[in-house]
């Protein structure tokens, strides 16, 4: 089980299935392929110069990640989502990231915290949402990783991917300032070994992302 994440990474450089999985996940998360879009296996087989077999395997992985929905004998389409699900993912992230932080806290060195601060600064200067999200993900990951719980981290990663989808597609809130301020508050608390404060701030911070949604209430295929 410890190898899940490593596999997910090595795999995408080694096997065709891995490459396709990563490419499709990227497009779905970035909103390049919108919710409800039908994914035709032969289309992607041709695009990636592969047969339909690895494409289908990639579909199964994306299905497990919650990025696509597969209906038996009716093919695969990009998962739709609504505000209820945005909130659901936010709550799950809050719970699990607090758990991770509790276990990571004893192993957090000031070197790590410094690196986190640097990443946060990079986020503040991000030119676009995409770059900001990248920094945001990195920030959360670097302070949680020391929990040494690979399965937990894998689940958090999946949830983060879902969050990123919401961020990129329609649910765009004003990113930046309030979040980065939260990040600073978390770092401050960690520096002073006030772990409960850090955890509480993290929970509020993650849930806020779920609450502060923008215009559209539902992302679905233009059926």
Residues of this chain that interact with its own copies (CB under 8 A) are 1-4, 7, 10-11, 14-15, 17-18, 53, 56-57, 60-61, 63-66, 69-73, 79-81, 85, 88-89, 91-92, 95-96, 98-99, 103, 149-152, 155
User: Minimum distance from CB of 79 to DNA (Å)?
Assistant: 15
- Name the binder of 98 from DNA, its own copies, none, CB < 5-8 A by kind: its own copies
Nearest residue (CB) to its own copies, 77 versus 191? 77
DSSP-derived letter for residue 212 is S
- Name the binder of 146 from DNA, its own copies, none, CB < 5-8 A by kind: none
Cα(96)–Cα(152) distance, rounded to whole angstroms? 7
Q: Strands, E, within the chain: which ranges?
A: 38-39, 68-71, 75-78, 81-82, 218-219
User: Minimum distance from CB of 1 to its own copies (Å)?
Assistant: 5
User: Minimum distance from CB of 16 to its own copies (Å)?
Assistant: 10
Q: Three-state SS for 78?
A: strand
- Name the binder of 74 from DNA, its own copies, none, CB < 5-8 A by kind: DNA
Q: Which residues bind DNA (CB under 7 A)?
A: 14-17, 38-42, 45, 49-54, 56-57, 70, 72-76
- Name the binder of 89 from its own copies, DNA, none, CB < 5-8 A by kind: its own copies
User: Minimum distance from CB of 42 to DNA (Å)?
Assistant: 5
Identify whether the C-beta of residue 33 lies closer than 8 Å to the C-beta of residue 47: no
User: Minimum distance from CB of 78 to DNA (Å)?
Assistant: 12
Cα(140)–Cα(156) distance, rounded to whole angstroms? 10
Cα(180)–Cα(202) distance, rounded to whole angstroms? 12
Nearest residue (CB) to its own copies, 69 versus 197? 69
Residues contacting residue 67 through CB under 8 Å, at least 6 positions apart: 24, 25, 28, 29, 78, 79, 161, 162, 165
Cα(158)–Cα(8) distance, rounded to whole angstroms? 12
């Amino acid at each position: 089980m410890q190898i899940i994440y490593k596999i997910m990474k090595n795999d995408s450089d080694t096997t065709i299935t891995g490459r396709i999985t990563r490419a499709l996940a990227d497009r779905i998360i970035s909103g390049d392929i919108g919710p409800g879009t039908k994914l035709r296996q032969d289309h992607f087989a041709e695009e990636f110069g592969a047969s339909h077999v690895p494409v289908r395997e990639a579909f199964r992985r994306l299905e497990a990640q919650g990025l696509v929905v597969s209906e038996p004998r009716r093919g695969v389409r990009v998962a739709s989502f609504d505000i209820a699900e945005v909130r659901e993912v936010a709550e799950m992230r809050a719970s699990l990231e607090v758990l991770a932080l509790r276990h990571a806290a004893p192993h957090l060195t000031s070197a790590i915290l410094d690196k986190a601060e640097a990443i946060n600064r990079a986020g503040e200067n991000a030119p676009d949402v995409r770059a900001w999200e990248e920094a945001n993900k990195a920030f959360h990951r670097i302070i949680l990783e020391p929990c040494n719980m690979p399965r937990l981290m894998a689940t958090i990663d999946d949830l983060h991917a879902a969050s990123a989808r919401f961020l990129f597609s329609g649910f765009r809130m004003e990113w930046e300032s309030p979040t980065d301020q939260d990040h600073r508050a978390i770092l401050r608390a960690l520096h002073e070994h006030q772990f409960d404060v850090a955890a509480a701030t993290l929970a509020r911070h993650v849930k806020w992302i779920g609450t502060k949604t923008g215009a559209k209430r539902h992302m679905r295929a233009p059926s």
